[in-house]
Amino acid sequence: MQIVIIGNGIAGVSAAIRIRELKPDWRITLVSGESDYHYSRPALMYVFMGHMRYADCKPYEDSFWEERRLERLRDWVTAIDVDKKRLYLARHDELAYDRLLIATGSKTNRFGWPGQDLRGVQGLYDLMDLRLLYENTKDCEQAIVVGGGLIGIELAEMLHSRGIHVRFLVREASYWDNILPAGESEMINALIRRHGFGLELETELAEIVDDGRGCACAVRTKDGRRFDCQLVGLTAGVSPNVAVVSGTAIDVGRGVLVDTGFHTSVDDVFAAGDCAEIRADGAERTLIQQVWYTGKAQGIHAGEIMADGAGSYDPGIWYNSAKFLSLEYQTYGEVNRAVDGEESLYWEDRDRMLACRIVHVAGRVIGFNFMGLRARHRVCERWIAQRRTVEYVLDHLEECNFDPEFSRRHERQMKVSLRAQLFAAGANA
Question: Considering only residues 199-258, where is the footprint of another protein by CB under 8 A?
Answer: 243-244, 246
Min separation Cβ 50 and another protein, Å: 4
Site string for another protein, 383-422 (x = CB under 8 A): -------------------xxxxxxx--------------
| Total number of residues that touch another protein (CB under 8 A) | 74
| 133 makes contact with another protein (CB under 8 A) | yes
Q: Of 306-325, which residues contact another protein (CB under 8 A)? A: 319, 321-323, 325
User: Which range in 59-67, 145-153, 249-257, 334-342 contacts another protein by CB under 8 A?
Assistant: 59-67
Of 24, 25, 50, 267, which lies in the binding site for another protein, with binding defined by CB under 8 A? 50
| 68 is an interface residue for another protein by CB under 8 A | no
As measured in angstroms, the least distance from the Cβ of 254 to another protein is 17
Measured from the CB atom, the residue of 141 and 398 that comes closer to another protein is 141
Minimum Å gap between C-beta 308 and another protein is: 23
**Is residue 63 a contact residue for another protein (CB under 8 A)?**
yes
Give dist(CA 330, CA 86) in Å, integer: 43
Identity of the residue, 325 or 425, whose beta carbon is nearer to another protein in the bound complex:
325
- Ranges within 15-34 binding another protein (CB under 8 A): 33-34
Please, what is the minimum distance in Å from the beta carbon of residue 231 to another protein? Answer: 11
